[in-house]
């Protein structure tokens, strides 16, 4: 598989090296991920990604076309996504105007369908482990495709969860049980999905609240608005109109259920798909989301009994790769 002039056309930077735009001899545009020689991860992740994604075929997953491993040169080749990644739209002052509510809801549904496929419907059960807005790519019609399976873990048989000593992922999208204890399962991907869902609705990064006196992060902010019954204030004013209130409220509700502190309190992806699609779904009441210090919740909620159930997870992680 040959491609021309790849190295002059850098279009992005993945967790393990640069990504270039290339062209096959027959004229098809492709994306070429080149593994950085300086990357400590290297070959294992590349092979892991190639093996995992080559067995997966779904309209909401980026398609792997091939790979090349020759000495120090290691590359994988994917279909080219002309609209780049979701974060370059929802967090961008100009591009966010291109995403109306119908498009945002369609992107949410597509991400959920792709995740449902890798968790339940494909020949393999795959936990992605690094789901985030920059790993959701958009095609010409703004359909979302989950990418970057370098950290993915394939589960076999009836295996439901696993433990790792090497916690890898992106802070802000990681579930507490994974960040603190290295435990991951479908429910850790569901946590990341909840963060993305709230980011799509609000147009704000979960980690972008450093100067905000009132909120530690997007989850805290959403929870406070939920308790004040002002949850639609979370919606990005670029798209929000009153006629969308019911759908927006439901999506935020589902997002809060996905980011619950305990994995057992989070829905499965199939339940999320059902909740988003059902007209009058009777959804469970969310509890406080993960990573909320008790004093914040007490300020927001006076002194309701459920304050005592909030866990405090002040955590520092040194072994994170990817940005």
Known catalytic membership, residue 141? no
Residue 69 phi/psi, 5° resolution?
A: -125, 110
CB of 67 closer than 8 Å to CB of 76 = yes
Residue 188 phi/psi, 5° resolution?
A: -75, -35
Neighbours of 26 (CB within 10 A): 5
Which residues have CB under 8 Å from 261's CB, separation 6+? 176, 287, 288, 289, 290, 291, 310, 311, 313
CA distance linking residue 66 with residue 2, whole number of Å: 11
Which of 130, 189, 236, 261 is an active site residue?
130
Catalytic residues: 130
């Amino acid at each position: 598989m040959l491609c021309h002039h790849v190295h002059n056309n850098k279009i992005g930077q993945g967790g393990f090296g640069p990504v270039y735009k290339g062209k096959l001899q027959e004229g098809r545009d492709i994306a070429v991920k080149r593994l950085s020689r300086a990357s400590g991860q290297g070959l294992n992740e590349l092979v892991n990604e190639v093996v995992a994604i080559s067995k997966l075929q779904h309209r909401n997953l980026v398609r792997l076309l091939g790979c090349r491993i020759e000495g120090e040169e290691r590359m994988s080749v994917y279909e080219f996504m002309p609209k780049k990644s979701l974060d370059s739209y929802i967090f961008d002052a100009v591009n966010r105007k291109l995403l109306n509510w119908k498009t945002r809801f369609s992107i949410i549904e597509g991400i959920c369908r792709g995740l449902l496929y890798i968790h339940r419907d494909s020949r393999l059960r795959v936990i992605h482990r690094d789901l985030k807005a920059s790993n959701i790519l958009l095609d010409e019609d703004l359909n979302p495709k989950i990418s970057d399976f370098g950290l993915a873990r394939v589960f076999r048989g009836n295996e439901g969860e696993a433990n790792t000593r090497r916690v890898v992922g992106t802070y802000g999208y990681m579930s507490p049980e994974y960040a603190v204890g290295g435990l991951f399962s479908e429910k850790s991907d569901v946590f990341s999905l909840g963060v993305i869902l709230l980011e799509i609705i609000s147009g704000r990064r979960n980690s972008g609240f450093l100067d905000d006196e009132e909120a530690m992060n997007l989850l805290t902010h959403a929870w406070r608005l939920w308790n004040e019954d002002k949850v639609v204030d979370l919606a990005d004013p670029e798209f929000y109109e009153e006629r969308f209130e019911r759908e927006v409220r439901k999506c935020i509700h589902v997002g809060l259920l996905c980011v619950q502190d305990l994995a057992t309190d989070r829905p499965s992806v199939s339940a999320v798909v059902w909740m988003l699609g059902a007209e009058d779904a009777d959804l469970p009441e969310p509890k406080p989301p993960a990573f909320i210090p008790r004093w914040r919740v007490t300020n927001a909620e006076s002194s309701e009994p459920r304050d005592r159930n909030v866990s405090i997870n002040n955590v520092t992680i040194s072994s994170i790769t990817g940005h």
